Structure formats: C-alpha cells, structure tokens
Amino acid sequence: MAMLDVADKPQAATFAADKVQSGAPDPVTGYRDFTLGAFRFSRDAYFATIQWPVNGQFRTHAIPADAFLRAMMRDVAWGFFYGWVNFDHVFGTRNHYGKVDMYAGAFNGVMKDAGVDYTETFDTPVIMATFKAILHDWTNEGFDPFAAPEETGSAFGHKHGDNAAAIERTRIATRRMPGLPDDSPLRDDLPVNRAFLDVAQDEPAVHVEPCFEGQLHAFNLFKYLSRSDVTWNPSVTSVCGQSLFCPTTEEFILPVFHGNDRVEWFLQLSDEIVWDIGDKNTGSPRARITMRAGDICAMPADIRHQGYSTKRSMLLVWENATPNLPKRYESGELKPYPVEF
Ligand code: PHB
Ligand code: FE
C-alpha cells in the first residue's frame, strides 16, 4: 500500500528480472521452483514449500498455496510495506527501504531459541523481481490473490493458466485526493460490492465562493470504498504532508501479520474487525481487540497484528510517512505507543 502506490514512486521490480533464478516446469505439477540466495521455493497442488539451510541441513516449512499467494501479493503490491511482513508464524520479510531481509524462524521465539532460524538480505529489485516471478508462475487462472475467498476461484491444483491481469492490477496512485483533476478516479465504473448495497452513492454538492474556484474538493468516501474490488489493501487516499490516510475494505483474514516499525492508527468506519496482537519479535500473544464502527485504536510500534472481518468492512489506516521513524523507535528516542495516560 502506502510504500508503493504513492504517485511517482519508481517501480523497482522491472530492473532485476534477469536476476530471477528458476527451474524448468515440473513435469507433473507444472510449477517452477525458485531460488533466492540460499532459500528454495517450490509449490505443489496444495502447498508452497520454503527451504533454508541450518547447520548443514535444509529445514522445510509449508504454507497453504492460497495463503502464501495472498501474502506474497500484498508484499509485492506494498513494496515490502513498513517494517515486517510475516506471511505466517515462520516466514516473512523486513523492509530496510532499499534492502529487504527475508527470514525463516527469525521472528518466531521458539525457532529462534532452537537456533533453526535463517535470514538473508537482498537488494529490493532482486527480491521484488523474484517474488513477482513466483506470483506469476504459481497463480492459476481464476484465482485472484487480492479478492475475498467468496469472490474468487481456487488457488489449488496442478498448474492451469495464469491471472496476470489480477496480479498486475493498476495501483491506485493518489497524489492528493481522488476526483481532483489529474488525480485518481472515483471508481464510478466499478460495481458496488455485494456487502455494501445499502451505502448511499450520492456525491456531496460543493459550493465554492467566488475566487476559490478549483481549490475546494469533496467526495463520498463511503461510496468510493463500497466500490473497492480488493480486500486488505490500504490505498493512499489523501496526502497531507507526511500524513497518509489509507482506507481499505476488509473481508476474511488479513493475509499477513504486519510487524510495525512505527505507530499506526486504525479507525473502524463500518462493521467489525477482530485483531490479534502479538509481540513483534517472538510472536507471543499480547492482546485481542474487537473494533466496531466508530472505534479508533493505535497499533504500537513494537507489535505485530492480524485482522479478521466476517462481513466486509471499511477501515481507515492512518500512516505516518515521516522519514527516519524506524530508527527513532529502535533507538528508544520515541516510545512504542503514542499516548501516555
Ligand atoms: C496493517 O498492517 O496495518 C494493515 C494492512 C492491511 C490492511 C489493514 C491494516 O488491510
Ligand atoms: Fe500494520
């Protein structure tokens, strides 16, 4: 989201396509294997399998193919996001903004203590190109990793076709606000989602005093969100200095456990999301939060979180893009929480 789809940000992936290491399609499943550093990736009808070396042996971890592709889609689309993107309790990436760590077990307290974790650091274009190549090869026709499970076909089975259109969906790159001249469109051409049929679709009337023409703008955010065709994909929708409002529509499970490198604010705009909050380093549970429409909550800088939304809901994620925040939190200059009571 915020890291990648701000207008004018260069698309790193195109620069390193020649660095992707992959094998020939498997004669039975049709899927290619991939290698990145000492990590190996393979998929079969049901699972993505990751291997990494520890003490002269290879360790293996399997993730259901649909969950793996949903997580990888977010990591790619968000340009590795802020901080940590945990695909699950074992595997993930950490963004160093120019370089990216890929790890297995390094942020799982039990595996770390057992010494079976592994981390390797890559230049962003190389890991981006590899992740994109995996997504393209492993996503079958009819499966959309951004869609809610009820709105997409299956990820499983031997390789059949592809879905480049879903993976390469044009990113919404808002400069100031949707609907302004030369800015992102208001989604009038997308249908209202089945969960939001009761959302009013009228736009506000804007009456501008003489001399202020072209300087005042408003749009119906609920209508805009009711027409989102993707889930768990906060898109920069208003930019005010370093303050980014990134609303999103949510259904089923956030496909990653996001580990924060700064404080984020959540404002629940409709319906309900339950959040599991864990320790950022070990994953051990810290809290469970139910957010209902109108609730606001600050996610501290030292946690990871994953959300659950049974009915598609609207959430505003408020991001702080101030440069150097990760260092200021890590050094202790800033407390991990935003308010002292
Ligand atoms: C988050 O990690 O803060 C996050 C990511 C995706 C969402 C919502 C929240 O859709
Ligand atoms: Fe987050």
233, 239, 243, 245: CA torsion to nearest 10: -30
**Residue 264 CB–ligand 1 contact under 6 Å:** yes
Q: What is the pTM of this model?
A: 0.94
Distance CA 319, CA 131 (A): 25
**Residue 254 CB–ligand 1 contact under 6 Å:** yes
Report pLDDT for 2: 41
Distance 336 CA to ligand 2 centre (A): 13
Report pLDDT for 15: 64
Question: Closest by alpha carbon to 233, among 202, 256, 260, 267?
Answer: 256
DSSP per position, 187-250: -TTSPPPGGGTTS--PPPP----TT-TTS-----HHHHHHT---SS-----EEETTEEEEEEEE
Distance CA 266, CA 260 (A): 13
Contact in structure between 3 and 78 (CB atoms under 8 Å)? yes
**Residue 250 CB–ligand 1 contact under 6 Å:** yes
Question: Closest by alpha carbon to 79, among 14, 139, 17?
Answer: 14
Which ligand 1 atom is nearest residue 233's CA?
Answer: 10
Q: Are strands 285-292 and 243-253 parallel, antiparallel or unpaired?
A: unpaired
Report pLDDT for 250: 98
Report pLDDT for 173: 75
Distance 236 CA to ligand 2 centre (A): 14
Distance CA 135, CA 70 (A): 9
Which ligand 1 atom is nearest residue 81's CA?
Answer: 2
* Backbone CA torsion sign across 151, 157, 163, 168: positive
Angle (nearest 5°) at CA 335 between 330 and 337 = 115
Distance 268 CA to ligand 1 centre (A): 12
Task: Please report, in tens digits, the pLDDT of each residue of the chain (341 residues total).
Answer: 444 344 444 444 456 889 999 999 999 999 999 999 999 999 999 999 999 999 999 999 999 999 999 999 999 999 999 999 999 999 999 999 999 999 999 999 999 999 999 999 999 999 999 999 999 999 999 999 999 999 999 999 999 999 999 998 876 778 889 999 999 999 999 999 999 999 999 999 999 999 998 889 999 999 999 999 999 999 999 999 999 999 999 999 999 999 999 999 999 999 999 999 999 999 999 999 999 999 999 999 999 999 999 999 999 999 999 999 999 999 999 999 998 88
Distance 339 CA to ligand 2 centre (A): 18
Report pLDDT for 1: 46
Which ligand 1 atom is nearest residue 248's CA?
Answer: 10
